[in-house]
Structure 1
């Protein structure tokens, strides 16, 4: 699909550029042609004003009956001649820049008269001539002025060939440039589409398991419909537990979908981030102690941030819970909140296996879990870090992770301080 989109984009781009090039080159050619045509007209009028007495110039080598001059001689003006004709189209006299035989004059006049026009052009002996018919001051007589325009015609022809070559080369260059930028433009769209497909597939997979558990336990209840509720409470508890998990999952999915579409409007105020973090630590201390882990924290007091305190508490809860799950037995969890310039910086560190380098760039992706079996046992869906990242970015902050295998893992959250602080 994206390949077809890219090809359509390239074709449209090339068509538009081709049309622009055709219009540009055609305009240049028409301007040049008009200039050349005007130059020919001026020179023919100059010949007419000379009254048949043009300056002598060396003869061109391709004209019959010409004088034998050096072919490498450069010419200041094109070859020309004037024929005086009567109304019966008979040649009365001629005037030329060089001597030519009578047969040449006769052939030239016949070609001009056959066109039945006062002005035109024809080819004679591999030379292009342009003529103009003008009435003479004498009655029953008119003049035919002929001018060699071979060089001018060759110039226009070479101009067309040059335009064609330049257009061909430019189209090739533009094709590869357009292809590069088309791939670059489509890449984020493709990545977003792929993530959306993966997101839907993962969400469907996660919902399938609790639905299967609910369906199975419901069948068990229906199979023992005559039994008391107290005897079947185990199956009802399983159903309730799965419903609770599904509710949490759907709420998380709804939040992420709203965050993607910028539908969430957080109520923001100035609040004491130091107190908010300390309150979360108090709620988590019991769980950390029961897991035989050591908690060490250093909180700088009176750090004021602007935002939604409940959402940022959720970030702290997610990162502490994540550290709790992945800290090794009898390990240590460290939390630090400091102020650096105009930012509040929180760091969450824990000892343990660490995160492989290939996985650390994906840990904020939705449904991404390094140890899937362990995450399932702990009730996780791989959405916590994605939600934490979304909340931090909504507060114009930044979150990232670093890890040393089998040593320590550190998550860092940077948040802007309140303006008045």
Structure 2
């Protein structure tokens, strides 16, 4: 599917670029052609006017006309190669003026080519050269001026060949560039699609387990339908426990969806992050004491950031809850909140324990990702806590990441912009 989509983008891009190139090259060619055609007409008219001004067609003998035309051919207005013929009313050649030593047949053929076109101006090819001509009436008959335009035609031909070569080279280069950017354009779509598929598969798997447990317990209750509720209460407790797990899962999923796709803009205000972190620690002190875990924290006072205080508290709660879950027996949890470079506030939550390997560190913020699924099941986790924390921190233009040393400790870092207290 994505290969077809990429190919469609590629074809569309190549068609658009090809059309633009064709229009550009055609425009350049026709503009050049029109300019050259205009120059040729202007040159023919200049030569014709030059002959008229020197009375080359009024009462001169063939020799005199030839001398004047030869002088003009030697010093033409633009150093062009040209010759002229004078005919009578019946188009018979009476005078020829040319610096070339050509036989009369050449001039007759040139005259014939000009007359065949039945136009005052035109072009033809003769003896391998390209010629342009103009026919003008004179007192004795007609004057036909011929101008060699072989070099101009060669320029136009070379221009076409140059365009073809350049177009081919550009087409090849643009093909690979377009393919590269088409792959880049498709990558986010493919990544989103793969994440969606993985999300559906993970959510289905997580829901399947509690539903199976509930179904099994209900069957047990049905099989003991004559017994009292008190005697079957443990099955009801199992059902309630799994229902609560499913409720938590759906609530987390809805919360993630709200963060990612909600059009409602969260109201951000300045708040004291130091006080927010301390309030979360105070609510967790009882749990920490019951688990016989050592807690050490260092909170720099009056650190202010901009955001939603309740969401940031939720992130701190998630990190602290994870730290307590995965701290080893008689281990310790350390919390630090400090200012960094007068631009950021850095919150660190560290706990002793098994640690997290480097390959897992890159994926722990993915939804439903759990390093040890059996332990996560024991603690009631679905692998959504860190995903929620990352979504919130991203929304606050911050950064969250983790470092770990195997068999020693794991540390989570949160960087948030520092706001002035004014």
Q: TM-score, normalised by structure 1?
A: 0.89
**Structure with the bigger percentage of helix:** 2
Determine helix, strand or coil for the equivalent of 1:216. Answer: helix
Q: Is the 8 A contact 1:58 1:98 kept in 2?
A: no
Q: Which runs of 5+ in 1 are unaligned?
A: 60-75
Instruction: Tell me the CA shift for residue 304 of structure 1.
Output: 4.1
What's the counterpart of residue 335 of structure 1? Answer: 335
Q: Is the 8 A contact 1:56 1:98 kept in 2?
A: no
Instruction: Tell me the CA shift for residue 264 of structure 1.
Output: 5.2
CA distance in 2, matches of 1:273, 1:46: 88
What's the counterpart of residue 382 of structure 2? Answer: 381
What's the counterpart of residue 54 of structure 1? Answer: 69
CA distance in 1, matches of 2:379, 2:11: 52
What's the counterpart of residue 357 of structure 1? Answer: 358
CA distance in 2, matches of 1:128, 1:389: 76
Superposition pairs of residues 27-66 of structure 1, within 5 angstroms = 27-48=27-48, 49-50=50-51, 51=56, 53-55=68-70
Give deviations 1:102-125, integer Å, cap 9, x for gaps: 111111212221222222211111
What's the counterpart of residue 151 of structure 2? Answer: 151
What's the counterpart of residue 185 of structure 2? Answer: 185
Structure 1's 113 and 58: CA in aligned 2 closer, same or farther, altered over 3 A?
Answer: closer
What's the counterpart of residue 284 of structure 1? Answer: 284
CA distance in 2, matches of 1:290, 1:205: 33
CA distance in 2, matches of 1:133, 1:306: 86
CA distance in 2, matches of 1:267, 1:82: 89
CA distance in 1, matches of 2:396, 2:349: 19
Q: Is the 8 A contact 2:85 2:143 kept in 1?
A: yes
Instruction: Tell me the CA shift for residue 26 of structure 1.
Output: 1.6
Structure 1's 420 and 118: CA in aligned 2 closer, same or farther, altered over 3 A?
Answer: same
CA distance in 1, matches of 2:309, 2:24: 61
What's the counterpart of residue 240 of structure 2? Answer: 240
Superposition pairs of residues 252-263 of structure 1, within 5 angstroms = 252-263=252-263
| Matched pairs, number | 403
CA distance in 2, matches of 1:263, 1:102: 90
CA distance in 1, matches of 2:38, 2:304: 80
What's the counterpart of residue 409 of structure 1? Answer: 410
Superposition pairs of residues 89-238 of structure 1, within 5 angstroms = 89-138=91-140, 141-238=141-238
Determine helix, strand or coil for the equivalent of 1:386. Answer: helix
CA distance in 1, matches of 2:233, 2:100: 123
Structure 1's 263 and 120: CA in aligned 2 closer, same or farther, altered over 3 A?
Answer: closer
What's the counterpart of residue 77 of structure 1? Answer: 79
Q: Is the 8 A contact 1:82 1:145 kept in 2?
A: yes
Determine helix, strand or coil for the equivalent of 1:54. Answer: helix
Q: TM-score, normalised by structure 2?
A: 0.88
Instruction: Tell me the CA shift for residue 20 of structure 1.
Output: 1.7
CA distance in 1, matches of 2:403, 2:23: 57
What's the counterpart of residue 19 of structure 2? Answer: 19
CA distance in 2, matches of 1:159, 1:306: 63
Structure 1's 402 and 266: CA in aligned 2 closer, same or farther, altered over 3 A?
Answer: same
Give deviations 1:312-366, integer Å, cap 9, x for gaps: 2221221111112222232221112223425432211111221111111111111
What's the counterpart of residue 73 of structure 1? Answer: none
CA distance in 2, matches of 1:40, 1:307: 75
Structure 1's 373 and 153: CA in aligned 2 closer, same or farther, altered over 3 A?
Answer: same
Give deviations 1:276-318, integer Å, cap 9, x for gaps: 3333323333333333432222233444444433322221221
Instruction: Tell me the CA shift for residue 223 of structure 1.
Output: 2.2
